[in-house]
Structure 1
C-alpha cells in the first residue's frame, strides 16, 4: 500500500517455470512442483502465460489456487486464438470457450485477463469496439477485469483511449520496450509490463530505475498520472485510487524475479 492509502500495488513476473531461475531465484534442489509455492511467497502476483498458447485443465487452475497464499493474485493471458484473428468482432465464441476452460476456479485470486495482440494488428475502431463489447463484465457471478496489450503505433490515438475508457478496459502500459507507450488510465486499475532488465544489473534495473517504477506505481494507485510516461489522449484530472499490476517480463529474463522482489520490498517500505 502506498503512503497515504490508495489502490493495492501488486508486482510479479510472467510465468514461474524457467530453467535459468534455478539457483538464481529458486534454491538449488527445490522440486519443480514447488516452484509456484516458492515464487508466490516472494512476489505478490504472477502472470499466467500458458493460457495464451493453449487451454489448461480445470484441475491446473484449482492446483494453482491451492498452492498460493490467500492474498495472492494471478493475471491470466487470454488465448491467442481469440486475439490473432482478422475480425475481432467475431471472437465471441472463442472468448466464451476461454472462460469455460476452468479459469474461474482461481476464485478471488483471479486478477485481470490480459488480451495480447500481435504487433501487426492495426487499430480499426469498429472492429475493436466489437471485440470490447464481447468481453464479459462478470462470469459465474464474479466480476472480471480486462486489459489489452496493443503493439502497433496506430493505436496511439485519442479515439482508442476513449474507446477503452468507455468500456472500462485497461490499456497495458509498455515500459522500456520498442512497443508504443499508451499510459492513459482507462479503467479502475492500471496494468504495466516492463521489459528493460539488463544482465549487468544484479537486480535487473539500477536502483534509480527501480525507484522510478515504484514511484509511478504509487502515483497510479492514488489516482495520479506519471508525467514521465507517454499518453495518447487529452489530459484529464485524475483522483480516483486504482489497483496496480506491474509485471517484469522479457529483457534479461534471468534477472526479472530479482527486479520484481526489489520493487515489492520498496512498496512494502512505503518507498
Structure 2
C-alpha cells in the first residue's frame, strides 16, 4: 500500500506574505483557512517558542479541517526541552508540552518534530534515554500529560485523548556528530524519523530511513531561508516523494524558505507535481 504525501509550510503567520500569498484584504483570522485550502499540511512552530493552549490547537484543527477534512498538522517540540534542557531530565517538561493541548488536534495530529541546536553534540546514551521516554500513542501522551506541573494550570490542561492512535516523531539535528552510524542505530531502535534537511550546505543533509515516516524540511538550497526552488529541484523532490510513498511510507514535506515568501508557492508547486 502506498503512503500518503503531505506538503506544506513551517508556520503560517508571516506579515510579509499579506498581499502576496495571502490576498490583499484577507483578515488575519482567515489566513490558516486560506493556507489549508492550498496546502495539505502545516508545521506548527509557535509550540517551539512557548506552550500553547488547548483552545488554540482546537481552533486550528477546526479552521483547517473545515476546508480540508484530511488536513494534518505536524507540531514542533519546545526548545525548552531541546535547547535549554538539552534532552536531559525532561519528563515534566514533556508532560507540560502534551498537557498544553497537542492532543486537541485529534486525528489532525501528524508527527512531532524535535530540532536540536548546532552546538548539541551526540551523546548516544542521552539520546537513547530521551527517545525512550517519548509517548508512542495518544493515550500514552494523555497519561504523561497528567504529570504536568503548574506551568500548565489545571483549568487549561488537556489530559485526555479522544482516540487511540500512534504518535510518530522526527529528529532534525544540526551537529555533524549526529551524521553517524551510531546515531542512526539509536534512531532506528526507537523508530524515529531522521529529518532530511536542505539548508544550503549550512547543516548536515542526511538521507537515512530510520522510522516509519519520511520527514523533509526545505530551508532553501542556495540561500538559507531565502532562496526559492527551481523547477528542476521541485521535480527531483517530487520523484523522491513518489519513491518513499511507493515503498509504503507516509511523507511530510515542509518548506521553510519563508523570508521572500517562496515557501507557500514552492509547496503548491510540489503538490501540483504530485497530483
TM bucket by the smaller chain?
0.7 to 0.9
Over residues 121-170 of structure 1, what are the superposed CA-to-partner deviations in whole Å (9 max), with x where a residue is unaligned? 00001111111011110122332111111100000110111110110111
Which runs of at least 4 in structure 1 moved beyond 4 Å after TM superposition? Answer: none
Going from structure 1 to structure 2, the CA distance change for 1:251 and 1:105 (only over 3 Å counts) comes to closer
User: In structure 1, what is the equivalent of residue 4 of structure 2?
Assistant: 8
User: How far 1:86 sits from its partner (Å)?
Assistant: 5.2
Structure 2 unaligned spans of 5+: 140-163
After superposition, the C-alpha distances for 1:207-264 in whole angstroms (9 at most, x for unaligned) are: 11110111111111123xxxxxxxxxxxxxxxxx100000010364411111000001
From the two aligned structures, give the one with the greater helix fraction.
2
Aligned partner (choices 168, 176, 181) of residue 158 of structure 1: 181
The CA deviation at 1:70 is 1.1
Choose from 27, 32, 36 the match for 2:28. Answer: 32
Once the two structures are superposed, residues 68-109 of structure 1 have per-residue CA deviations (whole angstroms, 9 ceiling, x without a partner) of 121000000001111114552411211111011111000000
In structure 1, what is the equivalent of residue 230 of structure 2? 206
SS at match of 1:218: helix
Aligned length: 244
Unaligned runs of 5+ in 1: 224-240
TM-score normalised by length of structure 2: 0.85
Matched, 1:57 2:53: yes
How big is the alpha-carbon RMSD for the aligned residues of Structure 1 and Structure 2?
Answer: 1.6
2:257 counterpart residue number: 250
Q: Summarize the Cα distance change of 1:197–1:162 in structure 2 as closer, same or farther, 3 Å threshold.
A: closer
8 Å CA contact 1:197–1:253 kept in 2: the answer is: no
User: Where in structure 2 are the equivalents of 1:107-186 lying within 5 Å?
Assistant: 107-140=106-139, 141-177=164-200, 178-186=202-210
